[in-house]
Structure 1
């Protein structure tokens, strides 16, 4: 099954409209040219990383890296559903932290759902695990989420310092959804299954080669080098490898132009709003201090705004009010871990649900939202408490 990180055409349409609107705002002077230049200089490395990382994830999926890992998880699951599920939790957590939330929600979900079906297990706990961890687990490293990359650039932190700042919240962001899935699906995770043999990869050279490239990329992303550099090198290596072993998979559609258009359009439009006083209007709502109350207000505002309009514009709108590392961490908790409830809270959720529908897995939006409306607030509040306690301890 071939999945894509950026397969919804409406994303490109919305992005193109926003780019045209942004260009009009710039041309008419509503968006000052110096503000447009500043946002361009700040975001081009971020967007280049997004393009390179997307190509890496797409080609790793083509090469069968995720499928090979998941199949081996099934063989070491000791015949117990909960063991396989915990191994999937670990895989989803690592994929989210190191390769971004979209990789987990869009590319890993079909793999683990197929694994569950192969083992004759209920696929829903596996599907919920991937979409929740994709969002709530994307707090630890800059590369985990586009919002994190923007925050790291604004704070001028390296990956190590960023991880140290976000670690308390990141632990909570992983633990709460895992506990929630374990409670909601405790019966289906208590069953046993017959062990299955691992199928041989169709192209072992391609799978192993791609796996080596991804394995080498992971430490490079936290080495302190500008992340777009190792990601671009890894993308180039995989393009060459796949072109040699499976030329038909190398296409222009690997480039996530829809997501890039959407991001550029949002940058221009929200920057215009900031130039016209958006931050000043929002300041009374989100507070200005770094006490527990103000941190909860900022994180809660980020979560509400993300569920209302999507997490990227929510972050961009509130970013100027995250005036120190603690406030920035709280904002990221809100717009990442809190962006769970509505289908449009993050693009990954919409794309994830499309994948499930295409695979015949039924999860009504009403049930999903009912579960998420409990998980999201609990995660946000506990994560902010963890941040605050670590700061004052």
Structure 2
């Protein structure tokens, strides 16, 4: 097929099918089941050359490898009891929290924000969605408070609180590779936008669910249901996470791939867990979620085909160059809309090459848009899709109308304040 228009249409259709498959996941099949054949199709019709597809795969390989290591690290931390301990602390039953202080919905809400923001930043948004959200739902049940505010806090923060570190989100890793920033430099510029986004989320979600947070616990008592035996503090996993974070900084300063630090942290936890027969090599391999990693690689190839056959040239005039405040706001707004419509991963793959010539500020503005924008729609990010599946597994859900209203209420101010914070950081 030689027609650029035809190749562009087929590529766009392939992307739409892959995203629809990722939303529905028929019979529980992985995202890669649609993405890998679709990537093969766009290569076969000439929408993207084999050399270009291989180049894109090589570009994404370090990022995908890093993601796999972080997924293993998060799962091994869970196996070591980190999230069970956090659940106890959230319920106000840990050694550093009294029962009375943690017994109200407001107290739980504040604790969820603190923990979800930290977990998202350090162990990635996947850990918040897959591992922390069930813990939060169980904590709300134990305290007999309404779960909605706390569940939405996890879902929103998995996106908007992933701004801080290159390791917080796959989109961050992609932006980090083209930003020219060090690990510490990235974190320094994104610290204020991260705090701004979290602050807006806390204020707006708290107001939106004010009635739920003010309601008395079901069944009276302040203490909630019995939380059972208190788990020990998971000292080993906490130390390994701290060492891994330090390793990220050192690796970045040395010009090495931060994946080596993540691999080292995962290896420390894995060796200990295997020696204590708390896991198996097969379980560890599964936690890397290889089908999802293949999906990311295949999606990169498909997006390359879409960009090369019309989308790139169509969007380029819409991306305002420069790092003035109006330019950064325009770029972040476009990124947010694109993420909400076609998912944040394709959005960041499309926009980064266009924004990169304007420098690190424009790249980070794209990142703010693609990380905050997904809170507008169910399909905005894979994390949101997975979050809904987690909720449904606990006999709850996020109705479309409610989800959208809350998204509109949080995204616009979060986006604006975060971009202003980024602009201020760039002036220093």
- TM-score, structure 1 normalization: 0.89
Whether 2:55 is the aligned partner of 1:38: answer yes
Aligned to 2:229: 200
Aligned pairs, number: 386
- What is the CA-CA distance between 1:201 and the residue it aligns to? 5.9
Cα deviation for residue 367 of structure 1 reads 1.1
Bigger Cα displacement from structure 2, 83-92 vs 213-222: 213-222
Aligned partner (choices 247, 258, 261) of residue 227 of structure 1: 258
Deviations along 1:85-128, one digit per CA (max 9) or x if unpaired, are: 21221111110111111111221011011011111111111111
Partners of 1:284 and 1:376 in 2: how far apart?
A: 24
Picking from 400, 405, 422, the partner of 1:370 is 405
Q: How has the CA–CA distance of structure 1 residues 14 and 113 changed in structure 2, closer, same or farther, with 3 Å as cutoff? A: closer
Contact 1:18 1:262 in 2 (8 A): yes
CA contact (8 A) 1:309 1:344 kept: yes
Q: How big is the shift at 1:130?
A: 0.8
Q: For the Cα contact (< 8 Å) 2:83–2:132, is it kept in 1?
A: yes
**Whole-Å separation in 2 of the counterparts to 1:7 and 1:364:** 16
Separation (CA, whole Å) in 1 of partners of 2:237 and 2:146: 30
Whether 1:302 aligns to 2:331 is no
Root mean square deviation, CA, Å: 2.7
Q: Is the 8 A contact 1:8 1:351 kept in 2?
A: no
Query: Where does 1:271-350 land on structure 2 (aligned, <5 Å)?
Result: 271-322=304-355, 323=357, 324-350=359-385
Deviation, structure 1 residue 234: 2.1
- State the shift of 1:199 in Å: 3.7
What is the 5 A alignment of 1:102-181? 102-181=126-205
Q: Is the 8 A contact 1:158 1:224 kept in 2?
A: no
2-side partners of 1:212 and 1:166: how far apart? Answer: 25
Taking the aligned partners of 1:186 and 1:16, their CA distance within structure 2 comes to 42
User: How many angstroms apart in 1 are the aligned matches of 2:80 and 2:368?
Assistant: 33
Q: Is the 8 A contact 2:181 2:360 kept in 1?
A: no
Name the counterpart of 2:414. 379
Question: How far apart are the structure 2 equivalents of 1:30 and 1:239?
Answer: 42
The gaps in structure 2 that reach 5 residues or longer are: 1-21
Of 234, 238, 243, 1:216 maps to 243
Distance in 1 of aligned mates of 2:148 and 2:303: 37
> SS of 2:39's equivalent?
helix
CA drift at 1:336: 0.4
Please say if 1:245 is aligned against 2:277. Answer: yes
Q: For the Cα contact (< 8 Å) 1:109–1:127, is it kept in 2?
A: yes
Partner of 1:357: 392
**1:250 deviation in Å?**
4.7
TM (normalized to structure 2)?
A: 0.82
CA spacing shift, 1:178–1:223, aligned 2, 3 Å: farther
Partner of 2:10: none
Q: CA deviation at 1:141?
A: 0.7
User: Contact (CA 8 Å) 1:338, 1:379: kept in 2 or not?
Assistant: no
Are the aligned partners of 1:170 and 1:383 in contact in 2 as well (CA < 8 Å)? yes
Residue 9 of structure 1 and its aligned partner are, at CA, apart by 5.0
CA distance in structure 1 between the aligned counterparts of 2:297 and 2:391, rounded to whole angstroms:
29
- Distance in 1 between the 2:154 and 2:107 partners? 16
The CA distance in 2 between the partners of 1:28 and 1:342, in whole Å, is: 32
Q: Return 306-315 or 32-41, whichever deviates more.
A: 32-41
For 1:8 and 1:240, how far apart are their aligned partners in 2? 37
